[in-house]
Structure 1
Amino acid sequence: MEMICRDADLVRYEPVLFGDCGIVSQTICGGEGGVIAGTSFTVAGADFVSGGVEAGQVVHLYSAEEGIDGVFEIVEVAGAEELMISVIRADDENGAICDVVGSEVRYSIVSYAAQIRDVTFELTKYFGLGPGDSSSEYGLADVIDTGDLRRACVFAVLAGIYATLGRQAGDASGHWEKSLFYQRKFERAREACRIELDSDGDGVGEAEISGGGFRLRRG
């Protein structure tokens, strides 16, 4: 299923969720012995492909000896043992940038794809789009610019993640506060959505959904 946002969108707001403060049970792979050379991260004997690693996910890299402790966007799965990584980019169109060098690096890849999938379904259902609304003639592929939807999706996912962390750890870490903070941001972002739809691919929107309302632009 096509999803509205990715882990790389979440990390721009909450990088801590992809390190030791994240949901450990959602770590899809990890280990040690990694080598960083610019935008290339390799691990001998790894199998990122069968492990389900994908572009748009996030890897946490750590080496106390070499002063490395940060999260990086996975730009490409270049092979079973190699990832192309980048510092978190402001725009997906920007090229990968990473000048870190290290060996014997520990790594872990946490993914919140399950939460993103659920929110994608609920948001598209709310706005009358597929896949959430299976009867709709419009789907995510028909949205000219998904920026507004992506922002709302990110906030909803973050609200859910912090609610989960709150249930696990109680209120000592302020997780419930964060959950409510992102819930409020989600509600405002959803209300502010302006979604233009183009089903015939001519680049001209024939319909618009605005804050939950649907309006045809032309016949």
Structure 2
Amino acid sequence: MEKSEKVILSAMYVCQILGKESFDLIKEKTMLSDDEINSKIDVLIKNQLINKDRKTLTEIGRDSLKIVLAGGVFDIIHPGHIYTLNAAKELGDVLVVVVATDNTAVKMKKRKPLHTQEQRQELVNSLSMVDLCLIGQEDDIFKTVNHVKPQIIALGYDQVHQEHFITEGCKKIGLDAKVARLQSPIPESSSSKIQKEYGESIHGI
């Protein structure tokens, strides 16, 4: 499959999740003309990867993409986040990131996040390696997992989720997803540590 065709399928997948039209995103990602895009979509329809509506992926088309799901609070974006998300993107074709809701962030970090869930979503969406950022579900993380249906779930070095918990949860919703534990070259980096040190430096002025 050509790289541009993979990009078209990836853009359609993202827009299907969002319930949006995909043509503008395809144009932005591929830099192809309208005629070139339509020609490639014709080929992908012929190969049964895109439905005849020209907007949605067939099951074969969806299965041809390797979707990677990563999650976190992402209150202060630091080098550890960038490294981890780059490593997650290298595992597949599409990287979907889920940011924790404000309430979940408080439970996880024992403090109120500096940025709202919408602001954190916007921050993560602006990162070049991220194809799509969603706000998570408070009551059941596997609702989002089932919505995204990733083949790989990437866990950061500092995330408390256990691989077994994730694997078993995926089995319960009929999803066969692999769990990848990512390592950070800067294990001392964390949003909490940065916020603490920043606060101390302000008080020390």
Task: Answer yes or no: same fold by TM over 0.5.
Answer: no
Richer in strand (by share)? 1
Richer in helix (by share)? 2
